[in-house]
């Protein structure tokens, strides 16, 4: 990770020096994490793809402003968060974030599940797993957007507390308390599901 960060700096400097093509290395390195964060946060595949494209374009435009005070990924996450927030505002997103997977039945076409690689050898188990993922996505969408973001950054993207504080420009203490509050909220959504699973298993 450290090595890659050093490497990022190298490619950033090249782009800053006018080497446009060097930017592709940065895109390829970070497209997956940025796209996945946006996809999980916005809850819509196409929306995420479009936003991710805007994020990289915006990063390219302002790459001269990147001074290397933080990691490139931190800087990129910050751009992504800002773009996603604008998009949420523009689309009345609290509703949008909740809906996309609501209607999707586990084996429906076109949902994100359809874009996953082929299920493993046990289709039943895979289907169950996919259903669980959908539920998690739905619960995340029903959380407060800021709380969902902290959960996604930390638990899905492995972003540390300090880096989250930098990305969101909030104090470390706020990161801690907000993340905990977010987990409690998510836990409350999970509880009925697990209780039903437990009773199902016991039967």
Interacting residues with another protein (CB under 8 A): 20-21, 23-24, 27-28, 31-32, 35-36, 39-40, 45, 49, 52-53, 56-57, 60-61, 112, 115-116, 132-133, 136-137, 140, 151-152, 154-156, 161, 176, 179-180, 183-184, 186-187, 190-191, 194
> How far is the C-alpha of 175 from the C-alpha of 32, rounded, in Å?
24
For residue 132 the two structure tokens come to 């669980």
H helix runs in 1-144, sequence order: 2-16, 23-42, 45-61, 72-91, 93-98, 123-142
Supply the DSSP symbol for 121. S
Comparison of 123 and 194: residue with beta carbon closer to another protein:
194
Q: Cβ of residue 198: shortest distance to another protein, in angstroms?
A: 12
Nearest distance from C-beta of residue 151 to another protein, angstroms: 6
> Shortest Cβ distance from residue 68 to another protein (Å)?
20
The count of other CB atoms within 10 Å of the CB of residue 55 is 25
Cα(81)–Cα(155) distance, rounded to whole angstroms?
Answer: 16
* CB 56, min distance to another protein, A: 5
CB nearer another protein, residue 61 or residue 89 = 61
């Amino acid at each position: 990770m450290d090595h890659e960060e050093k490497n990022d700096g190298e490619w950033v400097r090249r782009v800053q020096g006018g080497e446009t093509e060097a930017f592709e290395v940065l895109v390829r390195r970070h497209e997956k994490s940025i796209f996945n964060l946006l996809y999980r946060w916005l809850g819509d595949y196409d929306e995420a793809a479009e936003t991710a494209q805007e994020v990289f374009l915006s990063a390219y435009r302002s790459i001269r402003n990147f001074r290397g005070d933080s990691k490139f990924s931190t800087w990129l996450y910050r751009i992504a968060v800002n773009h996603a927030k604008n998009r949420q505002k523009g689309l009345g997103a609290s509703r949008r974030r909740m809906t996309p997977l609501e209607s999707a039945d586990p084996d429906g076409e076109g949902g994100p599940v359809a874009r996953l690689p082929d299920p493993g050898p046990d289709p039943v188990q895979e289907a169950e797993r996919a259903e669980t993922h959908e539920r998690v996505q739905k619960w995340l969408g029903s959380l407060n957007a800021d709380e969902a973001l902290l959960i996604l950054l930390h638990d899905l993207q492995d972003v540390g507390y300090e880096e989250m504080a930098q990305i969101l420009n909030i104090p470390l203490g706020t990161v801690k308390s907000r993340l905990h509050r977010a987990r409690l909220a998510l836990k409350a959504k999970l509880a009925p599901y697990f209780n039903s699973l437990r009773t199902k298993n016991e039967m």
